[in-house]
Structures are given as C-alpha cells and as structure tokens.
A and B are shown apart, each in its own frame.
Chain A
Amino acid sequence: MKHSTRDSAATAMSDAPLLSVEGLSVAYRTQRGWLHALDDIALTIGRGQVLGLVGESGSGKSTVVLALLGLLGDTARVSAQRLRFDGNDLLSQAASLRGRRIGTVFQDPSAALNPALSIGLQVAEPMLVHRRLPRADAFARATSLLAELGIPRAAQVMHAYPHQLSGGMKQRVVIATALAAEPDLLLLDEPTTALDVTIEAQILDLLEDLRVRRGIAMLLVSHNLGLVERICDKLVVLYAGRTVETGPTADVLAKPQHPYTRGLLAALPRPDRPHPGRLLPIDGNLPDMTVTDPGCNFRARCSFAIDACATPQALLQAGDDRTVRCHRAGLVATTPMPQPTVGHERQSPSGSPLATAEGLARIFRIGGGLSRLFGSVSRDVVAVDHVSLAIRPGEVLGLVGESGSGKTTLGRLLLRLIHADDGRLTFDGTEIPNAPKLTFRRRAQIVFQNPDTSLNPRQTVETILRRPLRRFGLARGAAVTDEVDRLLELVRLPRDYRARYPHQLSGGEKQRVGIARALASRPDFLVCDEAVSALDVSVQAAILNLLADLRDQLGVAYLFISHDIGVVAHIADRIAVMYRGRIVEEGLVAEVLKPPYHPYTEALLSAVPIPSAHAERRVRLAGDPGAEVSAAGCCFAARCPRKLGPVCDTDTPPRRQATDTHHFTCHIALAELAAAKAVL
C-alpha cells in the first residue's frame, strides 16, 4: 500500500509539468486605483515543450514573464493559487531560480548586454556564478556555446565588446548568456521584434534547432502570430489581462474560436494573399483595466456580442485540448471568416509622373567637426546611392528594405528635408532645389512612424492642426475652425478631440492626428515613413484602411516606406526593394511577389513569418546588412545565396527588364531567375 503510493507519487513527479501556473493575478497601484494587469491566468509548460503567449500591447504578456521571474517590484500586487516550477514555489523562490534554471531573453539585445564588459565574460558569468565552474573551464564552454549558436569565429568574439557586434549577433550572445547556466526553461520576451526580418528568420531557425537538439522548454512571448506558429506547440492568447483562447498552435490559428483571435487574424495584411480590398480592423480600444468588469472584457469591440456577454465568462472546453473564454464559441467557429470589403475598383494610375528622382545621392560623414582636427578618422557612408524613381499622381509606391538600407533617408531626400549630395528632383514638372519654396512644402508632406514623438506634447490637437493652415495661409478666422473640423472628420476622430493633448490619445488616435496634420495643407504627395509599424495589428489595419480611403478620396500619392512587406504589398501599387542605398528591384506588386525576383527580394519574402502558410522552400541570408560592401560590383554580393562568383564582386550588375514595369539589377540571367520556385 505504502509502496504503491510512493510509486504513483514518483510517476506524478516525472509527469508533472515543468512550469505550472494557476490563478495568477497581478495588479498595479495607480493614481486611479488598482490596474488589473493580469486576471486569473493559467498556463502549463511540460519538459521540452514550447508555449506561445500572444497578445497586443496592454494584454499583459510581458507582465507574465516578469511575474514568473519575481521581478515585478513593489508597486505590483501578485497573487497566484499555484506558481510552481519543477517542484519549487516561484512566489517565494524566484530569485534563486532565475538566471540559474530559468533563462530569459528580452526584446532589445543592445540593452541586455553590458557595453563595458567583454562578450566572453558576459557569457561565462552565469557559469562562474551559478555553476561555480573554474574560470578556464567556463571560458572554454562559453566559446563552444557561442559556436553552437552559430557565431562565426567564436574565440575572437569572446574578446569583443557588444558595440562591435551587429543586432543579430548580439541577440545570439544574449541567448548564449541565457543558456550558459543550462536552464530548464527559457523565457523569450519578443526576442526578434527589434531585429530585421532576415535576422529574425535566422534567430527563429536557431530557436527551432535548440528545441530539437537540447529539448529545452520555452515560453515565447510575441505579438506576431506567424512567428509563434513557427516554433510553438501550444498557444495562449491574452486580451487585456485575461486568457481568451488556448490550444495547439496550428489548430487555434486555422480555426479560431474566440472573436478576438479571429479578429487578429483578419486584421493581418498577408503578402501571400494580397487583395485590393480593405482589411478588417478590430474597432475600439482596450478596456479601462482599473474597472473590474465581470463580463467578457472584449464585448465592447466584438461583432458577436449579445446581452448575455455581460455575465461572467469561464474558460470552456472546446474540443481536443482547446479552451476558449466565449459562450458563443460554437457560432464563432462555424461562421465563415468575413470577406474583405472591396473599395471601388482602382484604376492603375497613369499619366506623367508627379515626383521624379534622378540619381539622388546622400553621403553621411561619420566623425567630423573639431575632432577631425585632432586626428580622429572620419568615414563616409553612402546612405542613398544615386537612386532614380518616379511616382505618378495618386499612386502608392511601396519602399521595402531592412534597417540601414536608406529608406528613411530616401524619403527625406524626396521631401528635401535633408540636402542631396547629387542628383535632381522634379515635382510636377518643375525642378526642386535643395532649399525648396513654400509651395513645394505645401504639396509634399510626411507621416511619421512613432505616434509618441510625432506630436508636440505641449500642444493640443487644435493647435497642431491650425499651424499648417496658418503657415500656408489656407484659412483665416472662422474658416480655420471649419477646416480643423474637416480634418478631424477626414481621419475619423470626434470633433471634441480638438481640445485634447497627445498624451490623452491612444497610439492609433495619435497617428490619425499625425495624418490629419500632414493633410492639412491639402498635399499631393505624402511620404509615409513606417506609418503603421509602431501600431498593434488591429489598429494598424484601421490606419491602413484610412490611408487607402484617403488615397482614393483625395488622390494623394504616397511613398509608403515599411520594413513589413505584407503591409506594403497590401497598400501599394508598385514596390521598390532597397538594399544598401540602392534599389535592387522595382515593379508592380504582383510582379515583385512572384518570380523572377532579385535574390534579395526572394530572401526577404521567404523570411516573413505568415500564419498558416507553410513555406515549401526557405531561403536564408547569412550575415547582416551591416557587412562590408565593395564599391564596385553588386551591393548584395556579400550575403547573396545565389552568388555566381567573382563577377558579383567586381562588376556592376546589369539592369534586367522582366516586363515594362518590372526590373531588377542582377548578374543572373532573367530566364534562370524566372525558373525559381515561388517562396510564398
């Protein structure tokens, strides 16, 4: 009798999940009372399992990570029925487990590494501290760990400092430091969000590989559904501090049962299924989390909501291994996904170009001024290398490329916000000098990426919108008020928002004000510089729809800059792909997304994580865009997976004209590239 109890206890121990969380609630003390960041969260991770935790900003996903690590601080009130990690209570013992048995990787690798310590020391430190290895031993192991994580010349990198490494390399080092103490569980909080898409693909491959080879359990926190699907067995979807849906990843994404999960998927622009219609945003904002709402907290934004949704909702079993917090889940699952609404049929813009750039170039000099007098070296970086392009009235030209490719600089050059070192800019038939007249300024405006820095925090919405009207002499007296009303209406904001300060607006609302400010002077040309990149998917869809409506309504042409090829493919008529200051491919959207394409475009498309789209072929780029580039030859030669040979390094690649509208620069023959299999 005794015997069997012990046996069953032993089996229970080995079957017990590595991490088991039940009833985890976290509240922060604020001026307006307790803010309930997490409400009764449950999750389990078995040994060797990978769990995905997804949600938009404000969902509480990072709070989960901090609560597991015991790092929430004094302003937070944490309670849990169960917070167990391999038989230990995390509420009381997190401090002794984190770093040793629980490794963590945060979003920004440059902030995670200490700039004053060598890479070697930072990787070896957990081994010295937690495993008490002798110094020489720890350093030897650190070197082999770096090599295992795909860092070339690991022994040299051990002596390097963080600023000498690229972003992708730094994130590999951070992962190495997290693995150094040989933890059982790895917490990954948006590990690739700060990285370029081709680097993200490398890191994902690495995580996938770690999982297979080391059998390490992971909790992957992300806002990106496609990314989660790549490596997670199971998925937990959070909304405003509550679990709304859980289940096997592929299942949940293929057949979402909660309206929120479904909404997230519908709001995503997908490069593999481009359509001319509008996206389906989730209207409204996050609920006020200082007010406890017993009912479903998504009901205000939900198209399935009925009166019964105001009653408390429990997590219900919904088929194999799935739970969903919605009493209408059955209906949600069987209702077909809404079809995108098609705006009126768009004609391909034609006619003479509105803005034409010919050989625009900009060189940045690093290190100058007085320091040059004292012998420090200055170095020239060609940010934009003699780029030519044309945008017709009412046309949307998408500009994609990784960070550092010169997209933003090119955008500013086209607005003459920075002076060009070479080349010509023509706008509506007249040549625009480096210091343009006010008439050009009125007609060419800009929308920025970060809604938090694009509006002056000391000015009300009204002041912000009035200034361009006055500056360009467009309205006086009572007409100004009417004009401000018109602008607010144009970007679908209520009129009483005029009295608000930026901090009283949500991210999406701020972006709308930024768009209204750009439209105030009734421009013909807008540069949208990553205009939706800082927004959550549900809000991003709404802003993309707004921009598409405005283009149809007002006939404004956009240069739409983005690192996200899905977003660009959705809104643009044509796409230009930029790499290291040069445009390597340009064509109509449909042409760029299909072969023949430039090897860089191919890799870029292949790297995009898209939910429920299983790529048959993966193209991976080695290295990063910061690698040295030879002045002669192809700018992409150093990373090109299809590199022909020395010719790529020495000769400028010829321009290949695939169709009238589609061209790229590559040494590889057109027919050969056309024979490539599509990656999407």
Chain B
Amino acid sequence: MTFLAGTNRPRTLVLGGGITVAIAALAILGPALTPYNPTAFAVRLRLSPPSLVHWFGTDEFGRDVLSRVIAGAHYSLAMGLGAMLISLLLGVPLGLVAAFHRGVVEEAIMRSVDLLISIPPILLGLLILAVTPPTLWKTIVAVGLVYIPIMTRLTRSVALGLLQEDFVQAAHARGEGAISILAREILPNAWPPIIVECGLRVTFAILLGSSLSFLGLGPQPPSSEWGLMIAESRQFIDQAPWIGLAPGLCLCALLISVNLFGEGLREALDPRLSGHGDV
C-alpha cells in the first residue's frame, strides 16, 4: 500500500506510531539499555527518591526502577499484541462466516460467542491461569480468548451491512463464491472499524494482562511486568510513590499512543480520507 508514502499522513498516525515504536524499541533493546541490572539488590539504596543517578528512584530492595520499567516493557507489548492477534485471527473469520451464512451456522457461532461473553473476563483469566502455573503465553491466550466475542460481533455487524450493498449483489451476479466475496468485497471495506477496534483491543489487553499480573496470575517475581510492579509497590505508596508511578505512567503512554496509532491507521487506509483526494 502507498499509505506510508502519502503526503498528508494523519498527525495521529505519526504521533501514536512514534511513541509506540519508541516503546517497542525499548522493549527489544531493553537488556542493552538498562543502566543497572534490573534484578540486582542494593539494600543500602532502598527506597531512594528519583535523582540524577536513579532517574525513577529505587524500590524496596534498592533495585533501579528505570531499569525495571525498561526490562518490563516487553511483557506489556507482548500481551497487547499477542492477545489482539488471537482475537483478530479467530474473531474476524468467525464474524465473516456468521454474516455470510445466515441461519443455523450464524446461530451456532453467535450463541457460542454470547456464551463466552457471559463469563466475566477476569474470571475466565483466573479459570485458565489458576489451575496451571502462570506464564506469559498463558496470560496472552487467556486475554485473547476474552476478546474474541467483541471482534466477532463487530465484524458480523459491519459485514451484514456491507452484504446488502449492490456491489456485493454484482459479485453474486458473477457467480462469485463465499471466499472471493468475503475477501474482495467485504473485508477491504470492513477494515476501518476492525483496525480501530484492534487498537482498542491492544490497550484493553495490556490493561487486562496487567490486572492479571497484579493479581499474581501473570509473570512471577522477580520479573518486572508493569502490573506486577504496581502490585508490589502498593505497600510503599505513601513512602515511595515513584515505584508505582513509573510503570503506571509508562502504561498510560503506551495505551494512548497505541490508540492514536490505530485511529491514524484507519484514516490512512481510507482512500476517501488520504492521498487520493478529489480530482
């Protein structure tokens, strides 16, 4: 696609994309960038406030908070993107199939999805994670499953509207099959709301993942997942607020930038809103 080369790229895309990429770079290059070993204790320096030496201060074991935040970035990104991909890859096809094949198939898909929706997300996470030892990939799968119903419902409702359009009738008049119609006519037009939803899902997945870690159902100590860091900082919130504040603010920045990125992507992908203007 030409959208990245377009002259009037939406500002949201540039800003959101910029911050997201910066955080992603931190996550990938993390081990090389951390000024201190994120897990090394330094008992004499415990709970020291932010300074030139320790930008974000230190925690109750004297570990450098900045180093821990950088080292924990990849957990949040992996949870957000991984869970989003799972809900996208399973939810969107289910929604398309449900919209195209009305009747029994649709009822079967949509009622199963309703069933999944009726379970509270945290409970579903607990169900999957509590019975086996928690690891990162299990958190990702749990969060991904939680968001399938939303993707399926969204895709189905968008596709149902599009299936009524005359250009789809024209495809039927050419005797096109289901896959061709869904891939050529429906999906390219259904993308914009799905992409925005993906941006939202990444943010919610990061939040839900962090919440599960906060409850102890994600990566285990001494790893520095942001939700886990916030959980551990609770006891010291009045003496040393920086321990929780640093991962909290990073979480905010990541969530906002991902959202902006999704919004910008939608605008860039729409031929009516981007470079292909009026003639």
In the complex, B185 has a CB within 8 A of chain A = yes
Stretch from A215-223, A327-335, A500-508, A589-597 that touches the partner: A500-508
The answer for the CA separation of A468 and B166 in the assembled complex, in Å, is: 15
Structural contact, A453 and B174, CB atoms closer than 8 A: no
Determine the chain B residues whose CB is within 8 A of the CB of A32 once the complex forms: 278
Instruction: Return chain A residues, CB-CB under 8 Å to B279.
Output: 500, 504
Query: Known: A32-B278, A446-B170. Contact between A471 and B271, CB under 8 A?
Result: no
Q: How far is the CA of A450 from the CA of B189 in the complex (A)?
A: 18
Q: Which residues of B contact A415 (CB under 8 A)?
A: 173
Judge whether B166 and A471 touch: CB under 8 Å.
Answer: no
Q: Mark A401-421, 1 if CB is under 8 A from B, else 0.
A: 000000000000001010000
Please report the C-alpha to C-alpha distance between residue A504 and residue B184 in the assembled complex, in whole angstroms: 20
Q: Is A304 an interface residue (CB 8 A)?
A: no
Q: Residue-by-residue, is B156-177 near A (CB-CB < 8 Å gives 1, otherwise 0)?
A: 0000000001110110111110
Partner of B166, one of A369, A436, A448: A448
Assuming the A-B contacts A417-B173, A503-B272, are A453 and B167 also in contact, with contact meaning beta carbons closer than 8 angstroms in the complex? yes
Complex contacts, A458 vs chain B, CB 8 Å? 188-189, 271
Find the A residue at minimum CB distance from B272: A503
Pair B276/A504 contact, Cβ less than 8 Å: yes
Interchain Cβ contacts under 8 Å between A and B, 29 examples: A32-B278, A369-B103, A417-B169, A436-B175, A438-B175, A441-B173, A446-B169, A449-B166, A453-B165, A453-B166, A454-B167, A456-B184, A458-B188, A458-B189, A458-B271, A459-B188, A467-B184, A468-B174, A471-B175, A471-B176, A472-B174, A500-B279, A501-B271, A501-B272, A503-B271, A504-B276, A514-B170, A518-B170, A521-B174
Are B278 and A456 touching (Cβ within 8 A)?
no
Asked if A445 is at the interface of the complex by the 8 Å CB criterion, the answer is yes
List 10 additional contacts besides A459-B184, A471-B176; criterion CB under 8 Å. A369-B103, A369-B107, A441-B174, A448-B169, A448-B170, A453-B166, A457-B272, A458-B189, A459-B188, A472-B174
Given the known interface contacts A369-B103, A456-B185, the answer about A446 and B173 at a Cβ–Cβ threshold of 8 Å is yes
The docked-state distance in angstroms from the alpha carbon of A453 to that of B170 is 11
- Please give me the 3 A-B residue pairs with the lowest Cβ-Cβ distance, nearest first: A441-B175, A454-B166, A448-B166
In chain A, positions 427-458 with a C-beta closer than 8 Å to chain B are: 436, 438, 441, 444-446, 448-450, 453-458
Contacts of B173 in A (CB 8 A): 415, 417, 441, 444-446
A517 to B278, CA, bound (A): 23
* Nearest CB on B from A507, distance (A): 14
A1 interfacial contact with B, CB 8 Å: no
- Are B170 and A517 in touch, CB under 8 angstroms? yes
Contact of A456 with B189 at beta-carbon distance under 8 Å, contacts A445-B173, A471-B176 already known: yes
A contacts, CB < 8 Å to B: 32, 369-370, 415, 417, 436, 438, 441, 444-446, 448-450, 453-459, 467-468, 471-472, 500-501, 503-504, 514, 517-518, 521
In the complex, residue of chain A having the shortest beta-carbon distance to the beta carbon of B173: A446
- Distance A441 CA – B172 CA, assembled complex (angstroms): 9
Contact B174 A471 (CB under 8 A): yes
Q: Which residue of A has the minimal Cβ distance to B278?
A: A504
Q: Chain A binding site: helix, strand, loop or mixed by DSSP?
A: loop
Task: Say yes or no: A467 contacts B103, CB within 8 Å.
Answer: no
Given A456-B167, A456-B185, does the pair A501, B276 have CB atoms closer than 8 Å?
Answer: yes
C-alpha gap A456/B166 in the complex (Å) = 9
Nearest-neighbour CB distance to chain A for B90, whole angstroms, equals 24
In the complex, how many angstroms separate the beta carbon of A460 from the nearest chain B beta carbon?
A: 9
Report the bound CA distance from A228 to B103 in whole Å.
48
Residues from chain B with Cβ under 8 Å of A504 in the complex: 276, 278-279
Of the residues A370, A449, A450, A454, contact of B107 by C-beta under 8 Å? A370
Which chain A residues lie closer than 8 Å to B174 at the CB level? 441, 467-468, 471-472, 521
Contacts of A444 in B (CB 8 A): 173
Query: Who on chain B is nearest to A455 by CB?
Result: B167
Q: B107: nearest residue on chain A (CB-CB)?
A: A370
Least distance between A506 CB and chain B CB atoms (Å) = 11
Range for the number of chain B residues in contact with chain A: 20 to 34
Complex contacts, B172 vs chain A, CB 8 Å: 417
Residue interface bits B261-279, CB-to-A below 8 A is 1, else 0:
0000000000110001011
Interface string of B84-105 (1 = CB under 8 A from A): 0000000000000000000100
Kindly list chain B residues whose C-beta atoms are within 8 Å of the C-beta of A518. Answer: 170
Q: How far in angstroms is the closest Cβ of chain B from A354?
A: 17
B178 shortest CB reach to chain A, Å: 13
Q: How near does chain B come to A588, taking the closest CB pair, in angstroms?
A: 29
Chain B contacts of A472 at CB under 8 A?
A: 174
| CB neighbours of B107 from chain A (8 A) | 369-370
CA distance A446 to B272 in the complex (A): 26
For B184, list chain A residues within 8 Å (CB): 456, 459, 467
Complex-state Cα separation, A468 to B169, whole angstroms: 13
Task: Please report the C-alpha to C-alpha distance between residue A32 and residue B185 in the assembled complex, in whole angstroms.
Answer: 31
How far is the CB of B191 from the nearest CB of chain A, in Å?
Answer: 8
Task: Give the CA-CA distance A370 to B109 in the complex, in Å.
Answer: 13
Which chain B residues border A441 with CB–CB below 8 Å?
173-175
Contact A450 B166 (CB under 8 A): yes
* Docked pose: A467 CA to B172 CA in angstroms: 12
Return the chain A residue nearest B174 by Cβ: A471
- Measured between C-beta atoms, what is the minimum distance from A160 to chain B in Å? 29
B-side contacts of A445, CB under 8 Å: 173
Residues of the A chain whose Cβ atoms lie less than 8 Å from the Cβ of B188: 456, 458-459
Return B87 CB to nearest CB of chain A, in Å.
24
Bound state CA distance, A500 and B107, in angstroms? 40
Distance in angstroms from B185 CB to nearest chain A CB is 6
Q: Please, which residue of chain A has its CB at the minimum distance from the CB of B186?
A: A456
Residues in A with CB closer than 8 Å to B103 are: 369
- C-alpha gap A450/B166 in the complex (Å): 8
Q: What's the least CB distance linking B7 to chain A, in Å?
A: 14
CA distance A454 to B173 in the complex (A): 12
A449 to B103, CA, bound (A): 28
Q: With both chains docked as a complex, state the minimum distance between the C-beta of A520 and any C-beta of chain B, in angstroms.
A: 9
Kindly state the separation between the CA atoms of A417 and B172 in the bound complex, as whole angstroms: 7
A319 to B4, CA, bound (A): 62
A458 to B173, CA, bound (A): 19
Q: A369 CA to B101 CA in the complex, in Å?
A: 13
A467 to chain B, nearest CB (A): 7
- A457 neighbours in B (Cβ, 8 Å): 189, 271-272
- What residues on B are CB-neighbors of A467 within 8 Å? 174, 184
Q: Which residue of B lies closest to A527 (CB)?
A: B173
Enumerate chain A residues within 8 angstroms of B185, measured Cβ to Cβ.
456
For A437, give the chain B residue with the smallest CB separation: B175
Residue of A nearest to B175 (CB): A441
Rounded to whole Å, the gap between the CB of A38 and the closest CB of chain B is 21
B278 / chain A contacts, CB cutoff of 8 Å: 32, 504
- C-alpha spacing A438/B176, complex, angstroms: 9
Cα–Cα distance between A8 and B243 once the two chains are bound (Å): 86
Name the B residues within 8 Å of A514 (CB-CB): 170
Please measure, in the bound complex, the distance between the C-alpha atom of A450 and the C-alpha atom of B169, giving whole angstroms: 12
Tell me the bound Cα distance from A521 to B173 in angstroms.
11
* Residue of B172, B174, B176, B188 with highest tally of chain A CB at under 10 A: B174
How far does the Cβ of B256 sit from chain A's closest Cβ, in whole Å? 27
A315–chain B nearest beta-carbon distance, Å: 31
**Cα–Cα, bound, A514→B165 (Å):** 13
CA distance A415 to B174 in the complex (A): 10
Q: How far is the CB of B273 from chain A (nearest CB, A)?
A: 10
Within the complex, the shortest CB–CB distance from B4 to chain A, in Å, comes to: 18
Residue of B nearest to A368 (CB): B103
Q: Which residues of A contact B165 (CB under 8 A)?
A: 453-454
Chain A, residue nearest B111 (CB): A370
CB of B70 to closest CB in A, whole Å: 41
CB contacts (< 8 Å) of A521 on chain B: these are 174
Q: Answer whether A454 and B170 are a contact pair too, CB < 8 Å, given A32-B278, A471-B175, A504-B276.
A: yes
CA distance A450 to B279 in the complex (A): 22
Q: How far is the CB of A432 from chain B (nearest CB, A)?
A: 12
